[in-house]
Structure 1
Amino acid sequence: MKDSRDVANYILQLAHDRGDSVTPMQLLKLTYIAHGWFYGIEGRPLICDPVEAWQYGPVIPRLYDEIKRYRGGAITSKIPRWRPDQLDADEKDIVKQVYDVYGKFTGPQLSNMTHAPGSPWHMTYEPGAFGRRISDDLIEEHYRRKASATA
């Protein structure tokens, strides 16, 4: 399992290489989606950080704390933790595939995707409740079903 900041920095690198910009909401959702797809395909988590059900979807608090200063604007620098050697080839491959598919969507569009009925967020979130952890089992099962449907 990797630190979510290392995965996020790899996403930022991919975006930079393509001339794209990424907002905090996009980065949070893309990191979460990469974690989910990795779990669904590989049967193990990509990140070690807990994911919580917040009003606007799944959030990784540790990552959020690092990028919240950008608010709704583009993230202009890597997170100080940057350790590109931390992701192995399989991890980079899935993260890249996630970015290829989902990187074109805005933060609100990605948030809507993660709010879908039956999603781990949908099954965990309660209005007014803050910081409810989304079960790893829910994430794994949800993305395993998605992976099976696309196979």
Structure 2
Amino acid sequence: MYNALDIAKYFITLADPEEEDLITNLKLQKLLYYAQGFHLVLFGKPLFKERIEAWQYGPVVPEVYRFYKQYEPNPLPQPDDFNVEQYDRETQELLDEVYEVYGQYTAPTLMRFTHQEKPWKETPLNEEISHDLMKAYFETQLVK
């Protein structure tokens, strides 16, 4: 199992600033949520141990949010301490796929998506979104 900050760094390195492909903290939070949800379904276990909570603007991993909070709505910088070899092949493939599907959207668009989805809608504000709720929802989202 990874920690959420390592997964966050992976997503940030996938962004291409030269292509105007930038990740803000808000966008990063949604990508973490989608990665965790699909990982729960595909592998039957969490991708990272940190909680995802239902905040006003959608699902958030509080530790990662606080780590990048200083950048406010600005794009997050590329991490200095990134090593792709710390991620197994299955994890890389999942994260690449999540980024390919969801990375194309803006943070506000991703926020609107998550506000339509059961895990966020059925969790009281500022409470943890349960793995069971996420797994049940994301099972319905897999293309069979």
Q: Normalising to structure 2: TM-score of the pair? A: 0.90
Q: Distance in 2 between matches of 1:17 and 1:44?
A: 32
Q: Does 1:49 align with 2:50?
A: yes
Percent of pairs identical after alignment?
34
Report the counterpart of residue 122 of structure 2 in structure 1: 123
Q: Distance in 1 between matches of 2:81 and 2:127?
A: 26
CA-based RMSD: 1.8
Q: Distance in 2 between matches of 1:71 and 1:2?
A: 25
Q: Distance in 1 between matches of 2:6 and 2:12?
A: 10
Instruction: Please list every run of at least 4 consecutive aligned residues from structure 1 whose deviation after the TM superposition is greater than 3 angstroms.
Output: 16-19, 80-86
User: In 1, are the aligned partners of 2:13 and 2:78 still within 8 Å (CA)?
Assistant: no
Matches within 5 A, 1:6-85: 6-16=6-16, 19=19, 20-78=21-79, 82-85=82-85
Deviation string 1:57-93 (CA, Å, 9 cap, x unpaired) is: 1100010011111111111232x76453332110110
Give unpaired runs (5+ residues) of structure 1. Answer: none
Deviation string 1:21-72 (CA, Å, 9 cap, x unpaired) is: 1111111111111111111222221111111111111100010011111111
Q: Normalising to structure 1: TM-score of the pair? A: 0.86
TM-superposed deviation, 1:17? 8.1
Letter in 2 for 1:97: E
Report the counterpart of residue 96 of structure 1 in structure 2: 96
Q: 2:131 aligns with which of 132, 136, 142?
A: 136
Deviation string 1:70-125 (CA, Å, 9 cap, x unpaired) is: 111111232x76453332110110110010111111111111111115x2111003
Residues 81 and 61 (structure 1), Cα distance of their counterparts in 2 relative to 1, 3 Å cut: farther
